[in-house]
Structure 1
Amino acid sequence: MIILSSVIIVLILLAGALFTASGVFKKAKYLDPWKRDYADQFEDPRVKLTAYGLLAPNGHNMQPWKIRLDKQNPLKFSLYSDNTRLALASDPVARQTLVSQGTFLEYVRVAGEQLGYQATIRLFPEGEYDEQKLGESMDQKPVAEITLLKVQPAANPLFDYMFLPDTNRMAYKPDPLTAEQRQHLEQTNTDEALKLTFMDASADIKKLGEYGIEGTDIETGLKRMNEESAQIFRSNESQKNKYRYGFSFEGQGTTGVKKHLLQGLITIFPSFNNAEASTKLAVDAARTAAQHTPAYALILSKDNSRTSQVKAGMLYSRLILAGHEQGLVMQPLSQVLEEYPEMKAPYTRIHQEYAPGGETIQLLVRLGQPTQDTPLSMRRAVTDLIAD
């Protein structure tokens, strides 16, 4: 009895240490931007709409957005790519970063309609980037110039779905897309320069699932990729509140007691979060996803210009929001579309098979009905996006 009591006391103390290290009692400030009234604290309509844009899906959760408010026109502002938030190992040409600019712009547009502001979006008003001086060019040239016009508010049916998680990496139900769902999603593409296609034949589902696994296997097998991911992994509540971007256990669908136990364990024993363990988890998750996906969507562009990348992101936001409206969730499979030497073989094959007309596949997305909810991801304070 004495031994049993001692064991129980040790376990309680251990659990207490893990929960304390996790930060279980800290307020999750990194979730504040998801609150429905978060934008209400700002009077400037440009800042209000930026607060909604902040919720948009984005590559590696880097939130690579920078806003400059026009000093002469109180209804005009510009969006820039934040060159300090590039994932250069996995996205060396910053294609995903530019797609993320598009997702932001579409959320701004949808929110504007809801709040009574018509947003006129002019892409690359000063021309596209100088690719030879990409970082410098990002700082000098805006991705978009947004001019607002006060109009009567018009309820946008997609607005409410902006407050849901944009990515669900879990297994999906086997139910195929209905004709109504498919038609609804197809209507999100109104740009002739883009192509939105859906794949639900068993052969395509098998093949695209294999591409997802292969891309994950290649990426997680590269040291520089693992180091990049480790640098933006937030292992506890203190780190998430401090940085408010990057990866965390929530991205793997881990919540509640299990999340805090894992966070505490990794915080106290960082060696537990090693590359080998992370690689196995990622590949296993990719296999599970491939086995539980009833359909895929591809967004293709006629070229791979910066403008096309941004437009693809805008379409992706519409697709996600319309999908939520239809009870669907999504996950972009970005790895096989990444542009670095080790990924060249599968990148070339998937384009030969699914973009035979010479288009660029900007996004490969799995979609279906969820088997479980996924948590919200970290978001920075909107004021952090506003540059001088």
Structure 2
Amino acid sequence: MLKKTILCAAMAIPSFSGLAVEAGNIYQGDMQSPVFECRDQVHAQYSAEEQKLVDTLWNEALIYLKTYADALTTSTTADCLNSDIAVYETTTPGFSRMCIMENEDMKKMVKHIYQIVNNPDAAKRCFAPRKGESWLTMPDAGVLAQSPVAQWIDRPTISEYMDSVETSENARIHGQVFARHFSEMATGDDIVMPKTFARDISANALPNLWASVGWVPMYAADSERNQRNFDNIRGGYAYAEILGHWGLLRINAINGEPVGAEVGMVMQQVDTFYPYHNHAISEIYYTIRQPACANQFKTFAVQEGNSLVKTVSETTDIREVELDTNYHNEQSAWASSEPLTDPLTYFHANTIHAFEIDGDCEARPHEKAIVTVWARSNANREHNDYGNTRLCESAENPNTPAIRGQTIRCDLTKQKW
């Protein structure tokens, strides 16, 4: 049974660039002349031609953010008022779903997005194309060739990054394949927006944004954490932030309220298993690529209070747990996601989750990926940065990947209230 969110009727508030903006449960006074505190003071001077490129990128970013907020606050069933539905746990019969806008972090994130898109001139002071940031990467071809903005920004490409970083040879090979076929993965007729999206915000429609945003191959570099990872994920996974502390639009606070939202996109190559992991920050995904076959894109999610999660030890900061993934009917604990069926997932803090992307039904699996619209909601908290994404490990062989069908061990961050 769905938990229900009680929200007031949507009200019209000022618009930008001719786009009508509707915001359920948003106090109209919050939309009027909010004060933006930037994470960095942006003082770059641009020529007239360069300013046109910056403006193009900014406008595509606004379209992405506004469309995303509208999608989260759009009902697809009478069970949710002014809210989309999200799967949040998959180990329960039929999976657990909720109205996503019942979560306070989602309400705050959506409010902040509407404050941005309704006050674009003020918010733009915190926006920068991140030209010259060598740790942010760009696609190698295809989408890059279609984007004069990305060509002007001229950051290292994904393949150049993979060549420069200390990583395993196998991960480097996977990274080069991912880089070479980025455009085939990000574009095409099989990119489909979920029903709550009023417009296409994929690379098909916003090529400058997807090429220029700044992609991070999060797991590429050698590290203690990556001993618990698979080489094909280390090379075949990247995320990007539009809004967020590492993104194009970097805002510390609005009207004195900390902004914890990180909003962007994620791509994970087909025929990979993103291992069991957890973090002390809530996270959401919208699937926007149509799978090649049923059950191709599978998600596992179990909350920390589930009886399957057993405590092994505890410190003041960490709860070490084990989860036996070899239980009866375990295969039923994986939810299938596609744009028109269960496209949205929400992971509460400390939810142990994993993504299995099947490649058996793809004619050319190396050219395809699951593509998602992604966000984290409360990154302003100190323990919620990317370094605190914890990969689980094999309980039998510590510091090796947590493999499906074995007992896995995970470190959960103790939450403080």
TM-score (norm: length of structure 2): 0.25
Higher-helix-fraction structure: 1
Q: Compare relative contact order (CA 8 Å, sep 6+) and give the higher one, 1 or 2.
A: 1
TM-score (norm: length of structure 1): 0.26
